[in-house]
């Protein structure tokens, strides 16, 4: 996460194995398409826990330019 300008680089890299929804509505539509008992609830819980984690990582990067919030992360 080397920063050669005064801009903070995105610390969250995309995982190419998965589709990236265009917006939150598309994500919610995909999650709602799971119809087995409790499947949609589990999918939404996992998706929005990941959303919150992404928000936390970005917030940490914005507040501490010298920190690497993904240090030790294996994807």
* pLDDT number for residue 62: 82
Closest by alpha carbon to 10, among 51, 71, 62?
Answer: 62
Would you say residue 7 lies in a domain? no
Q: Does the residue 13 lie in any domain?
A: no
Q: Is residue 10 part of a domain?
A: no
* Torsion angle of the four alpha carbons 1, 73, 42, 28, in this order, in degrees rounded to the nearest 10: 10
Residue 14 included in any domain = no
User: Which among 8, 11, 30 has a CA at the least distance from the CA of 20?
Assistant: 30
In a domain, 42, yes or no: yes
Over residues 7-23, the mean pLDDT reads 86
Say how many domains are in the chain. 1
Give the residue, 65 or 61, on which the prediction is more confident.
61
First vs last Cα of the chain: how many Å apart? Answer: 15
Q: Helix H segments across 1-75?
A: 24-32, 39-63
**Which domain does 59 fall in, by range?**
37-64
User: What is the chain's mean pLDDT, rounded?
Assistant: 82
């Amino acid at each position: 996460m080397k920063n050669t300008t005064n801009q903070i680089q995105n610390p969250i890299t995309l995982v190419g194995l998965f589709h990236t929804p265009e917006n939150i509505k598309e994500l919610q539509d995909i999650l709602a398409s799971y119809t087995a008992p409790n499947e949609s609830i589990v999918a939404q819980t996992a998706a929005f826990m990941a959303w919150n984690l992404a928000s936390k990582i970005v917030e940490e990067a914005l507040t501490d330019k010298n920190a690497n919030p993904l240090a030790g992360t294996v994807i």
